[in-house]
Structure 1
């Protein structure tokens, strides 16, 4: 039989213990949140040492009273500090917010966009034909977002979609100080931009954490300016890592996923850990209503650090190491074909003969398993690992070829800009006036995200009359009016033709397309 007897509140009364002489009693003291209890438990026949047992009980009670007296001693107040672990976060995120929030800013940007008045510009079938016709009307477009200060002299990182092509940028700090800002580096592919505040000094800044060290389930805070209501903090956890295939910017990147509420206006804001350090830059959400559904994505801090470093070095565009390959994730069906126990890695489908992987001895069909010890399971993840390593460094690739697993050391470098790209612009007063073209080489492939085997003449600009033809930047010219195009000089010569009927053959997104128009 077991029962609990409450001990007197605040030690004002002694407990009364009734012990049957015929039954020994085991007495234990235990602490609960509300009171102390004495538990009695029968253990069998009574022994002669009953008096000694009761004496021991008295000593235990005396010890208990001394402990209670010690607990009643005054507690010395301790200053609030930023918690060093999740276990220390008990009731409030306030210390973390006080440390990190001053370095998160509101960004207001203006850009002038040209808008055509054609009523058919958005038609799904005839949009390409009518989009470039109609009167051009300049229009001021306002953008609202957030940013993160990373240096006390005013280096701020934000999203490209917030400040890209802006003609005026105003940055407002949490303490209401305002600064004009200039764009010093952009990277549309990762959707990052770096700003420099004018005449700024002694600013609060965020420490950048190692985003590879975070784990799913860790607590994080999202800080930004949703809907322009002012600086707002929301909390959540890391929901997932290595998220890829999400269309952001001009590419499909590699992201940290969080369930911390993120809304329009949070873009470019901070995702911070419980030490108040930057682990990511909030950039996108998946939504059906325009608001948060608990699925948000942030650009990892390790990539942010590389982008900011290149901005400090004077680069105006982020320069990535060149891999020179096309790769695909190994799924279950491919794993079966390769006799892999589990699907892992990325298979090389195409490889440029001058790429660093080819120079290291890798070939088509090799399956890359890891980069610098970090597993890779998608092409964006592999490129992310190379990008955060930085130009001029070396990376170790572990890969499977057949039944063996091998390693390769590759040098991280820019794509060679050879042979010469031979950039040309059409100035003749014909339908192709304003057309800019280059010859495709490895640097062009990397710059325009083409396949490694791409070749020919690439359209890089459309102005004046050529903007009305339905051609697009990124199209590969194959033929003009039935004559094959092999060099940029061919384009210049064929564009001189005085005719009103034009037929241009191009390669667009892997498909051969024929455009016919009359001008």
Structure 2
């Protein structure tokens, strides 16, 4: 994967001012300047007074305000706010359309109108309006959105020669770097806050899911800044602001930004025409190495992720990995959790080869593993049960690696899964993701077998299901 390289300082005065803030104290020099800021000492008080102004002036035109509108169907029920009757009468009342509005920020990534924002800002919007810093307004459409990563790529209509930010390789970001958080909260105008990178490899702590992987900053992220830019002192984008952990609910707290390396993958896939984001498939489960396991494996400290299970078609299984092996690094970057493993594979990109460092039997070895999507083998072969069956309108599919990955099933899952339970099935307690093991004692291995068993079940229907790793039996009188 190739990222746009960092540009040199564009303002010697700005560089000098930043250096002064870091290196000068009331009595003289405090510390040596950092390696990344190899510039001269400020020559005048005027240079020191410049602060971040030149950087802000150059970066803010690429940060936009986003207005998103979504129309949803809601029921107006007199029991909606009642703690007891709201559940019993949740389907009571007239269905009426209701408009939901959201407000956030975005960052222009290219001169031809590609914009990145958060999924929770635009992911399900029906209408999107983007307002630039110079007050120009454009319609936009979502090209690619992913709830797990909380990222979305938009395309502005009828634009050219837009100001934009370059993506920096976020793996080169270091704790302690000066950063600015820029956004356009609530449409009142852009705000800029400063701070430092206070942490890296923060996973599962902000908006998103177990796939989350974030840059942590103490730069205040104001409400409404979701989707805004986190930039370095060169004006390069290192992350997209996504959330803040705050006891008060305000902007004072710990901010999180999605790394630019992941943004690059979204941009590349949207340019390639993908309508959903695809990640490389590991086909494995694992957990972090603890102190006892580290000592037993000859490690001087806990590091890496131990493999618990592997799917038979996993690219790791096909390259000699087995349960009990410890994965220490991907492409030379150390990992310590499944979330980091997923992130490192994702930023490597589909179609590439990741060099994975494995510890097995006390021996370390670097192994190249292809980055592939989860296979659709066997084909899903969806089947919708007819009205003459015991559970009409239910959609059944074959389980394959892609289905396992999409619905987060156990790696050992086989057979037939309920993709959509239908109206009757939902009332009966069936859920999307349930695996059907048997119907009235007949083992189920294909959607056709299930459909046949549901056509003549007799006076009772007995379903044996696998849900969340546990087996359950449901019986119905017909």
Q: Does 1:157 align with 2:116?
A: yes
User: 2:181 aligned to 204, 218, 222, which one?
Assistant: 222
Q: Distance in 1 between matches of 2:322 and 2:372?
A: 19
Are 2:350 and 2:373, in contact at CA under 8 Å, matched by a contact in 1?
A: yes
Residues 2-401 of structure 1: matches in 2 within 5 Å? 83=15, 86-87=18-19, 90-91=48-49, 92-116=51-75, 133-135=91-93, 136-246=95-205, 248-401=207-360
Compared CA separation, residues 514 and 210, structure 1 to 2 (3 A): same
Task: Provide the C-alpha distance between the structure 1 equivalents of 2:398 and 2:101, rounded to a whole number of angstroms.
Answer: 37
TM-score (norm 2): 0.83
Q: Is the CA contact (8 Å cut-off) linking 2:390 and 2:455 kept in structure 1?
A: no
In structure 2, runs of 5+ residues without a counterpart are 1-9, 22-47
Q: Residues 226 and 507 of structure 1: is their aligned pair in 2 closer, same or farther, counting only changes over 3 Å?
A: farther
Residues 1:513 and 1:125: Cα distance change in structure 2 (over 3 Å)? farther
Secondary structure of the residue that 2:340 maps to in structure 1? helix
Distance change (3 Å), C-alpha of 1:312 and 1:82: farther
2:358 matched to 1:426? Answer: no
Looking at structure 2, the residues matched to 122 and 465 of structure 1 have their Cα atoms a distance apart, in angstroms, of 27
Using the TM superposition, name which of 428-437 and 346-355 deviates more.
428-437
> Does the CA-based 8 Å contact 2:247-2:253 persist in structure 1?
no
Q: 1:119 Cα deviation (Å)? A: 8.5
* Alignment deviations for residues 286-333 of structure 1 (CA, whole Å, 9 cap, x no partner): 233432342121111001001110100111111111111112111223
**Aligned pair in 2 of structure 1 residues 273, 126: CA closer, same or farther (>3 Å)?**
farther
SS at match of 2:213: strand
User: Are the aligned partners of 1:102 and 1:175 in contact in 2 as well (CA < 8 Å)?
Assistant: yes
Cα–Cα, structure 1 residues 404 and 498, in superposed 2: closer, same or farther, change >3 Å?
A: closer
Distance (whole Å) between structure 2 residues aligned to residue 330 and residue 107 of structure 1? 42
SS, match of residue 198 in structure 2: strand
Contact between 1:415 and 1:446, CA under 8 Å: does it hold in 2?
yes
Q: What is the alpha-carbon distance in structure 2 between the residues aligned to residue 120 and residue 257 of structure 1?
A: 43
Is contact 1:425-1:434 (8 Å) kept? yes
Q: CA deviation at 1:228?
A: 4.3
Distance change in 2, residues 1:496/1:141 (3 Å): farther
Structure 2 distance, partners of 1:149, 1:304, is 12
> What CA distance in whole angstroms lies between the structure 1 residues aligned with 2:359 and 2:190?
49
Q: 1:249 to 1:424 in 2, by over 3 A?
A: farther
Root-mean-square deviation (CA, aligned residues, Å) is 3.1
Which residue matches 2:406? 447
2:366 equivalent in structure 1: 407
Specify the SS of the correspondent of 2:120.
helix
How far apart are 1:123 and its partner, in Å?
10
How far does residue 247 in structure 1 lie from its aligned partner after superposition? 5.5
Please give the secondary structure, in 1, of the residue aligned with 2:375: coil
**1:357 Cα deviation (Å)?**
0.9
CA contact (8 A) 1:326 1:451 kept: no
Q: Which residue of 2 aligns with 1:471?
A: 430
Q: Note the residue ranges of structure 1 that are not aligned, 5 or more in a row.
A: 1-77
1:493 to 452, 460, 467: 452
Secondary structure, counterpart of 1:246 in structure 2 = coil
Local SS of the residue matching 1:245: coil
Q: Could you tell me which residue of structure 2 aligns to residue 460 of structure 1?
A: 419
For residue 239 of structure 1, report the CA deviation from its aligned partner. Answer: 1.0
Checking the alignment, whether the CA contact within 8 Å between 2:107 and 2:229 is kept in structure 1 is yes
Mark the structure with the bigger radius of gyration. Answer: 1
Contact 2:328 2:359 in 1 (8 A): yes
- CA displacement at 1:130 relative to structure 2: 5.5
Aligned counterparts of 1:365 and 1:207: Cα–Cα separation in 2: 41
Q: Which moved more, 1:82-91 or 1:324-333?
A: 82-91
Q: Which moved more, 1:213-222 or 1:482-491?
A: 482-491
Q: Distance in 1 between matches of 2:260 and 2:167?
A: 6
Equivalent residues, number: 441
Task: Give the TM-score normalised by the residue count of structure 1.
Answer: 0.77
